[in-house]
Chain A
Amino acid sequence: QQQVKQSPQSLIVQKGGISIINCAYENTAFDYFPWYQQFPGKGPALLIAIRPDVSEKKEGRFTISFNKSAKQFSLHIMDSQPGDSATYFCAATSGGGADGLTFGKGTHLIIQP
């Protein structure tokens, strides 16, 4: 059972455009939602994270929007650059303790120059 559904699977955006990746979750116990960026041959790198008590969090060009009632959250990359080309994963974990992170299947983002 996939508890975090991520879309789209792949995305092509022009340089300077806005990249938007969406995730939906099922487990209402989830209370921490990070986004990770992964380049080929590397481990995932933590980009930004949000907790359900806020609807939006911004760090530089990266923004998470969170809709608790819809059980959805999304990553927006403003002014997308070729260096942003990577695979992005949303994830979630619950406050129950050592449940680990549940990841989406990833979005392969390509920024065209």
Chain B
Amino acid sequence: ETGVTQSPTHLIKTRGQQVTLRCSSQSGHNTVSWYQQALGQGPQFIFQYYREEENGRGNFPPRFSGLQFPNYSSELNVNALELDDSALYLCASSLGTRATEAFFGQGTRLTVV
């Protein structure tokens, strides 16, 4: 059984650019959710994908979008990057439509300059 893996681990982007982050879910898990964790804060829910469809979203603007693929891996896309988007982006996988028993990856540290 493999855990949740994210790539890349670190990334530096310029304000206004676009970024794509990737996540492979834990074996057997069909739900992937994404979180943003600012320095010194708790993770904040961005959105969740279940069986390739977004089925829940937190308070994030539309420039945050995602995809889930048939193998349940996922991407987080952020357009028009802003300085405040600098954060640790975490992917979590779980089984079923809920966030129970959610297991997190190590995260992608995004720095926007």
Contact = CB atoms under 8 A, between A and B. Distances in A.
Contact of A100 (B4, B45, B103): B45
B66 interface: no
A91 B56 CA distance: 17
B100 A49 contact: yes
Interface residues on chain A, size class: 20 to 34
B86 interface: no
B55 to A, nearest CB: 4
Given A98-B55, A98-B56, A44 B99 contact: no
Contacts of A106: 40-42
Interface string B8-51: 00000000000000000000000101010000111111111010
A101 interface: yes
A103 B44 contact: yes
Contact of B99 (A42, A43, A45, A100): A100
Interface in A1-30: 6
Interface string B80-109: 000000000010100001111111111100
A108 B90 CA distance: 19
B44 A32 contact: no
Nearest to B107: A43
Given A43-B90, A44-B90, A101 B41 contact: no
Nearest to A106: B42
Interface of A: 6, 32, 34, 36, 41-46, 49, 89, 91, 93, 95, 97-106
